Every structure is written in structure tokens, then in C-alpha cells.
A and B are shown apart, each in its own frame.
Chain A
Amino acid sequence: MGSIGVLLVTPVLPYLEQELDKRYKLFRAWDYPETAQLLAQHATSIQAVVGNSGAGADAEMIEALPKLEIVSCFSVGVDKVDLEKCREKGIRVTNTPHVLTDDVADLAIGLMLTLLRRICECDRFVRSGKWKHGDYKLTTKFSGKTVGILGLGRIGQAIAKRAEGFNCSICYYSRTEKRNSKYKYYPSVVELASNCDVLVVACPLTEETHHIINREVINALGPKGFLINIGRGKHVDEPELVSALVEGRLAGAGLDVFENEPVVPEELFGLENVVIVPHIGSGTLETRTAMADLVLGNLEAHFLGKPLLTPLF
């Protein structure tokens, strides 16, 4: 298989890059100052593209790769892949579900706890030496709060299960009500936001869910409400969120994702009531390795003519 061309559009876990290099003819997009140059030289050699949450395969790239057969995403979200174009051209698309569900759910709860209990701020308080001069203040209790989940898929359900251990009440919004769910359903995001203390975004990013967290939802969540985003930055109208936080119209936010990563709005750096982390949802060695094995397994299956492991289609 050493002659099969694979395009890696962005740096990933070293293990994945090394294995791709061993098994295929690997092209690294960042080795070329211009994508156009890469395509001009090697377009006809490339049969597979590997991307992640930050970069994938848009219509322009897909059109430029006549031999492209498969896009294998090193992520569960596929919003950076033009799915319509792939479907049109019969290109297979795979992602990495299941293996990262636990880590992302763990981080969601971690963001809730560190946000409400001001753990990062407490740590800063201690390291600055301020504790010698006075105690820290009261924070917000997490146990028993109502957690609203936007999107009750695998990750949403894993978050619900963990929050229940803290005696939290769970409610949710999704496109359709889940018949077998024991959790309370709200038919709109605004109603969900009005009826919970902590709102967590856990749905896929699509045209319909772009900016699903807008000014109306933020106002419904209110000055005592908290927002947690472990989905995609574009789920949230970021300028609206920032002004709500600065003006005190929202109690706080825990954010793993941003509209234009790696750019974080400047205003957030000065706020005590936010926890900001650089897209670490699946960021453990165990999980990234399992994700890498899925990418490699899907590619191998495809080129051997076997059933794909985790295809979208």
C-alpha cells in the first residue's frame, strides 16, 4: 500500500502521523506554503484525506482531487468536511465515535465543576500569595443543580449519567424527543435555557445548529445561568456571548471550543467567571491513540475492500 497517496491536512497525534507515513505515501499539507502548489504537484496521487476538528475537506479541495476515495476524520465532528460533495461523488467518510465519548463527557463535567466552584481562579489566588492576606469568597454549589443538555446523543447521554451522580436534575433539547428517555424534554432551546442552571452544548454542528446559542438563548439562561460548550465554536454567537459575560447578563461560561480557533476573544482573558481551554475534549493519550487506530483501521479496510469500521456513509 506504500504507493497510495494520503493527504494529512493538519498536524495530529505523532503516532498517527508516523503510522500513516509507514503505510502510505504521506503528503503533509503544512510542508507546502500554498495548498495550490501541493495540489498542482500531487493532486492525482491522493486517494485519501485525513483531517480533524480544525481542518477537513471542503468542496474546493474535493473537486481538486480527482482520485479521492475516502475522507477519514480524526474527530467525531465532521463539520469541516463537505458531506454533500462527498455523497455526490461517492467518496466515503469516516469519523471516530464512541472512543472519545467518555473523555468529552468527563471534560464537560470538569468544566462545570471548575467553573461553578472557581477552581482555576482559586488556584491563581493561591499561587499569587493572596491567601496569606485573606480567605477566598463563596462560590456556586454544583450538586443538585439542573443541567440542560443540548443534543442527547452519545456524548449528551454520557454527560447526563455523570451529572446524575451529583443529584443534578437533567433536561434536554434535541431535534426529536427521545421516547425512552427518563429526562425532561423541552421543544425549544430557549425553553431549555429558561429551565436549567447549566446549559451544555453537545450536538453536531450543522447548518441548523450554527449559532444555536444566540442572544435570545443567552438571555433565557440569564445572570445566574452558566454555559458549557464542548461542541463546536460556531454553535455559539461568540460576540453575543462575550458581551453577555462582560455585562453580567450570564453568570459564566466553560469553553473548550471557539469560533476561530486558535483565536480566543481578548475580553475573556480578563474574566474570572470563565474557564477557557484549547480544545482538549478528547485530549488524553489513550483516547487519541484509539481515535488514531480508528482512522488507520478505516483506511486499511477501505483499501482492502472490506467493510469500514465507523463510516458516516
Chain B
Amino acid sequence: MAEESNNGTNHMQDLPKVLLLGPGPPFCFESLQLLYSHKFHFLNPHLSDLSLQHFLDHHHPPSIPAILCSPKHSVTADVLRLLPSLRLVLTTSAGTNHIDLRECRRRGIQVANSGALFSEDVADMAVALLIDGLRKISAADRWLRTQNRQNTPWDLFPLGFKLSGKRVGIVGLGSIGMEVAKRLEPFGCIISYNSKHRKGRVSYPFCSTVLELAATCDVLVVCCALNEETKHIINREVILALGKGGFIVNVGRGELIDEKELVKCLMEGELGGAGFDVFENEPRIPQELFKMDNVVLSPHVGPLTESYMNICALMVGNLEAFFLNKPLLTPLILSE
């Protein structure tokens, strides 16, 4: 009996180790451990009360080559320092702002994210927030369920704003931005964009700054990655350039927008309205927004539909490729 259990332990110790840093997205880490423990030895510090450092003391850190994290766990230089043999950081998100990319590049660590897996769902969310905000769908639904229980005349509900023909500026024409543009074109929206670099083979007009984009558009849809250059890329100047009738949608990261200034502009009537799936300090949200009828608020659910669980297969695919020394499925190119 002792021999059998020895064999079992040996077998597990032969498997490549993957450190899970969560809390994981709904059911994701649990599914991975349930379905793939015959391929990988998952280490989950979240299940213990120990600090990460103490947890790792029990698991021989130099033997851990891979991290699989969710966007809720920062992978800082301090974390990387704990794992001298780390060669791969995988995140379940499209965003990588929670990972010290510079330190990864310096240490020769590969990074992979969710690639384009969630782009359709996040683009759907952006368009949903835009139509809802302009046409006042959530506000109308709320009005009917609360103020209108007495069946007061419906012509008292305020008119919305037409979407067709609006000039829409996309901030960040990556995978998500392209899906947003593709969806808004049939509505008769006029698309232009700002991105770090002009995109070849794209017919939409390019603006070299976000300020210029805001000055020439009625709507801004923010879909870019969060990094040092893009923090607060939507600031007071940009909001004022968009104008009093302007509308902003953010499905990227909360810190892309100077939230304090945005709330001030909404309160002062300097911005027509906004739709957000992300906020600077989730789940804490500026209380002033709760009283506004010209904003639509969503609890960071951009990718969370029935197809969300495909992330498990993608992460496993990346792990398998990595441990076979093959190219990753959804690598991040760590540029200068």
C-alpha cells in the first residue's frame, strides 16, 4: 500500500507545475483542476491561508516554470522574484496591465493572454452600452418599473439621441476595436480611430491624438490596453473636446479614464452621457453616478457569456504548447 501511494505521489511530481494565482474567474480554476490534473500539477495558494511566499516554501519554487493568473492577481516584480525558474505567465484576460511586462521581458519570461477569444462579447457589450445610453433603454425600463406604475402618459418620457449617422471615434483599434467598428458600420455610424500606430489595410480615418479624435467625433468608444502611456488617456481636455452632447463608452480598463474629472464633467453638463463596464476602483463606484439617468453602469461582465468557459481550453492549449516547446497559441509580443 505504501508503494502504491508512493507511485501516485511520484507520478504527480513528474507533472509540470503550474501556479494558479486568483481568485480565478467563475469556475475556471476549479474546472482546470478537475479536468487536467492528469497533465499538470496545479498549485493553488488561494485554497490555503498562507501568504504566497509561505505557500511556495512548501512547493520548491525553483521547480515552478509557469503561472496561470486571473486579472485580479497582480504579477509584480516581487512575485516574479519568488520563482527563479519561471518561464511563462498566462493570464485568463485580454488585459495585461496587472503583469509587470518589463520585468518579464528582462527575465526572458513568455507572456500569453486570452487573445481574441473575448473580443466579440466585449464588442457586443460596447455597442449595447452605446445604444442603451443614447436611446435611454435602461432609463426607460427603470422609469416604467418605478415612476410609471400609475400608468402616466408615455409622452412624458424624454426623447433619446439618434445613433445612425453619429461620428464614432474608437480609442484603440485592436481586436476589440475592430469588432466594434464592424458592428457600428451597418448602423450608418462614421468610424475613425486613434491607436498607438496607424493600422495598414484599414479604411477608417486615423487621428494621431485622442484629443483630435474627440474634437471630430460625437462618441468615443475606449477599447485600448492599459499601460503607462494610456493611463488617464481620457482626461478633462478630451472630454471637453468631445462636447456637451458627447457620449463615452469604456470597455477597456477603468484607469483609462480620469474618473474624478469624468464625474465632474457629467455633473456640470459638459458631457451628454456615458456607458461603463469598467471603473478605476472596482467594485467601488462614484456615488454621484447612481443618481444619473444619462449613464449606464455594468459590473465588468464584458466577456461573461456562455462562451466564457472556452478560456479553459485556450489556457490548456497554451500550457501544452509551452511544455512541448512549441509556439504559444496567444502570445503577447513584448515590444520595447
Contact (Cβ within 8 A) A120 B120: no
A164 to B165, CA, bound (A): 18
Q: Residue B157 at the A interface, CB < 8 A?
A: yes
Contact (Cβ within 8 A) B296 A106: no
Q: Residue A64 at the B interface, CB < 8 A?
A: no
Contact (Cβ within 8 A) B124 A139: no
- List 6 additional A-B contacts (Cβ < 8 Å) besides A110-B132, A123-B296: A103-B164, A131-B299, A138-B305, A262-B153, A278-B143, A286-B162
**Chain A 189-241 residues near chain B, CB threshold 8 A:** none
User: 0/1 per residue, B118-132, Cβ < 8 Å to A?
Assistant: 001101110111011
Which residue of chain B has the shortest Cβ distance to A288 in the bound complex? Answer: B159
Q: Which residues of A contact B282 (CB under 8 A)?
A: 131
Contact (Cβ within 8 A) A287 B120: no
Given A103-B162, A117-B128, A278-B148; A136-B297 close (CB under 8 Å)? no
Given A132-B283, A143-B124; A126-B297 close (CB under 8 Å)? yes
**Chain A 125-143 residues near chain B, CB threshold 8 A:** 125-127, 131-132, 135-143
Contact (Cβ within 8 A) B141 A131: no
**Chain B 294-318 residues near chain A, CB threshold 8 A:** 296-301, 304-308
Q: Residue A311 at the B interface, CB < 8 A?
A: no
Q: Which of A41-49, A80-88, A269-277 contacts B (4 or more CB under 8 A)?
A: A269-277
Q: Which residues of A contact B144 (CB under 8 A)?
A: 264, 269, 276-278
27 contacts between A and B (CB under 8 A): A11-B155, A12-B155, A102-B164, A106-B135, A117-B305, A119-B128, A122-B297, A123-B297, A123-B298, A126-B298, A132-B283, A132-B284, A135-B300, A140-B306, A141-B307, A165-B187, A167-B120, A264-B144, A264-B148, A275-B141, A276-B140, A276-B141, A276-B144, A278-B144, A278-B157, A279-B154, A286-B162
Chain B interface: which size bin? 35 or more
User: 0/1 per residue, B197-238, Cβ < 8 Å to A?
Assistant: 000000000000000000000000000000000000000000
Q: Which residues of B contact A262 (CB under 8 A)?
A: 148, 151-154
Number of interface residues of A (CB under 8 A): 55
Contact (Cβ within 8 A) A162 B187: yes
| Most chain B CB neighbours (cut-off 10 Å) among A143, A164, A275 | A143
**Chain A 272-313 residues near chain B, CB threshold 8 A:** 275-280, 283-288
Q: Residue A166 at the B interface, CB < 8 A?
A: yes
CB distance from B309 to the nearest CB of A (A): 9
Interface positions of B (Cβ within 8 A of A): 26, 120-121, 123-125, 127-129, 131-132, 135-138, 140-145, 148-149, 151-155, 157, 159-165, 182-188, 282-285, 290, 296-301, 304-308
Given A106-B164, A284-B161; A141-B299 close (CB under 8 Å)? no
A168 to B163, CA, bound (A): 20
Q: Which residues of A contact B148 (CB under 8 A)?
A: 262, 264, 278
Contact (Cβ within 8 A) B128 A113: yes
CB distance from B136 to the nearest CB of A (A): 7
A215 to B117, CA, bound (A): 38
A131's partner among B132, B153, B283 (CB-CB below 8 A) is B283
A166 to B124, CA, bound (A): 8
Q: Which residues of A contact B284 (CB under 8 A)?
A: 132
Contact (Cβ within 8 A) B141 A283: no
B186's partner among A143, A165, A283 (CB-CB below 8 A) is A165
Q: Which residues of B contact A109 (CB under 8 A)?
A: 127, 131, 187
Contact (Cβ within 8 A) A110 B131: yes
Q: Which residues of B contact A164 (CB under 8 A)?
A: 186
CB distance from A135 to the nearest CB of B (A): 7
Given A126-B299, A276-B145; A102-B159 close (CB under 8 Å)? no
Given A162-B186, A165-B183, A279-B154; A119-B129 close (CB under 8 Å)? yes
A144's partner among B120, B127, B283 (CB-CB below 8 A) is B120
**Chain A 1-49 residues near chain B, CB threshold 8 A:** 11-12
Q: Residue A111 at the B interface, CB < 8 A?
A: yes
Given A113-B131, A126-B298; A138-B149 close (CB under 8 Å)? no
Q: Residue A107 at the B interface, CB < 8 A?
A: yes
Contact (Cβ within 8 A) A142 B155: no
Contact (Cβ within 8 A) B297 A280: no
The 4 A-B residue pairs with the shortest CB-CB distance in the complex, in nearest-first order: A110-B131, A113-B128, A141-B305, A102-B164
CB distance from A257 to the nearest CB of B (A): 11
Which residue of chain B has the shortest Cβ distance to A103 in the bound complex? Answer: B162
A219 to B284, CA, bound (A): 42
CB distance from B159 to the nearest CB of A (A): 5
Q: Residue A175 at the B interface, CB < 8 A?
A: no
Contact (Cβ within 8 A) A277 B299: no
Contact (Cβ within 8 A) A122 B120: no
Contact (Cβ within 8 A) A275 B137: yes
Q: Which residues of B contact A278 (CB under 8 A)?
A: 140, 143-144, 148, 154, 157
CB distance from B150 to the nearest CB of A (A): 10
A168 to B32, CA, bound (A): 31
A43 to B124, CA, bound (A): 53
